[in-house]
């Protein structure tokens, strides 16, 4: 009798979305802010500080994508994102409801100028962020390369309220004990959080605290401005913030750099829906 070999049909889970990644964790901080983690495509390589397009399938069957800075370090096996929630925002009004197990779309093509390679070598690196603009720095602060290249790293972050600082505060406080990055950081990282609309030990806009020299005095740096010979800056916030920061840094003689032409500072707009 003829016995036909049985062909085993292997079933592979087929992603329901193109470039689908699975959400693994979601944490809400306020009614305006949340963070989530998702699986990472095996092929995705990125430089700390870069962003990718992520999103969900829109009601019209077309992907609804926005630029999001990757907040996790390049050595992390998952990806982390930090997002605002805009009630009428086409994407974030939906994205804020994701939960572990859901799928998001992620285009694995990282780009961006907030990368160490776009800066000339220096001694002190400044991160200037408002709101969710801290996301690329959450990646850079967990990158050993940041602390190998600079003697000192200063993270300035300003939000309206204390609760909005929580993501950054928790991250910065956890770094010295981090088994992977802790030893690189030592005492090199200085954190300068401020609020503008709620009482907090340190208050005021980053721009005002730089222009008045308050931050230099508070941190005991013994300087009254950034020096283009030694200081490097990375800016990420709203358009108005970025423009005001550029004016301050250019006034001190720092020039804007790019991947193709490294200089003294780089800037990128934080994602806003």
Instruction: Point out which residues bind ligand A2P (CB under 6 A).
Output: 130-131, 158-160, 196-197, 205-207, 238, 240-241, 244
Contact 112, 257 (CB under 8 A): no
Smallest distance from ligand A2P to CB 233, Å: 14
Q: How far is the CB of 160 from ligand A2P (least distance, A)?
A: 5
Residue closer to ligand A2P (CB basis): 57 or 162: 162
Kindly state the smallest distance separating residue 207's Cβ from ligand A2P, in Å: 4
Q: Of the two residues 119 and 159, which places its CB atom closer to ligand A2P in the complex?
A: 159
By C-beta, is 57 or 86 nearer to ligand A2P?
86
Helices (H), the chain: 92-95, 135-140, 144-149, 166-174, 182-185, 206-211, 214-218, 239-251
- In whole angstroms, the minimum distance from the beta carbon of 34 to ligand A2P comes to 15
Task: Output 104 or 210, the one with its CB closest to ligand A2P.
Answer: 210
Q: How far is the CB of 179 from ligand A2P (least distance, A)?
A: 33
* Separation CA 256–CA 273 (nearest Å): 26
C-alpha to C-alpha distance for 154 and 189, rounded to whole angstroms: 6
Nearer to ligand A2P, 23 or 156 (CB): 156
CA distance linking residue 119 with residue 113, whole number of Å: 9
Hey, what are 111's tokens?
Answer: 């780009």
Residue for token digits 């990368």? 115
List, in order, residues 6 or more apart from 96 with CB less than 8 Å away. 28, 34, 83, 85
């Amino acid at each position: 009798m003829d016995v036909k070999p049985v062909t085993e049909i292997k079933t592979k889970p087929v992603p329901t979305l193109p470039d689908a990644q699975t959400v693994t964790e979601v944490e809400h901080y306020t009614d305006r802010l949340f963070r989530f983690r998702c699986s990472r495509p095996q092929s995705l390589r990125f430089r700390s500080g870069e962003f990718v397009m992520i999103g969900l399938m829109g009601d019209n069957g077309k992907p609804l994508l926005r630029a999001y800075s990757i907040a996790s370090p390049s050595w992390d096996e998952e990806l982390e994102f930090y997002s605002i929630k805009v009630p009428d925002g086409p994407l974030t009004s939906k994205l804020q409801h994701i939960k572990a197990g859901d799928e998001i779309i992620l285009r694995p093509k990282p780009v961006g100028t907030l990368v160490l390679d776009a800066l000339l070598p220096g001694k002190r690196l400044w991160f200037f962020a408002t709101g969710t603009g801290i996301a690329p720095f959450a990646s850079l602060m967990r990158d050993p390369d940041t602390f190998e290249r600079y003697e000192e790293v200063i993270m300035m972050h300003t939000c309206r309220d204390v609760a909005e600082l929580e993501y950054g505060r928790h991250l910065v406080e956890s770094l010295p004990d981090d088994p992977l990055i802790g030893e690189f950081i030592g005492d090199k990282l200085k954190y300068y959080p401020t609020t503008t609309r709620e009482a907090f030990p340190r208050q005021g806009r980053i721009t005002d605290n730089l222009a008045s020299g308050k931050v230099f005095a508070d941190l005991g740096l013994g300087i009254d401005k950034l020096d283009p010979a030694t200081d490097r800056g990375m800016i990420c916030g709203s358009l108005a913030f970025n423009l005001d920061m550029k004016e301050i840094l250019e006034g001190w003689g720092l020039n804007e750099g790019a991947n193709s032409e490294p200089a003294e500072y780089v800037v990128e707009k934080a994602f806003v829906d």
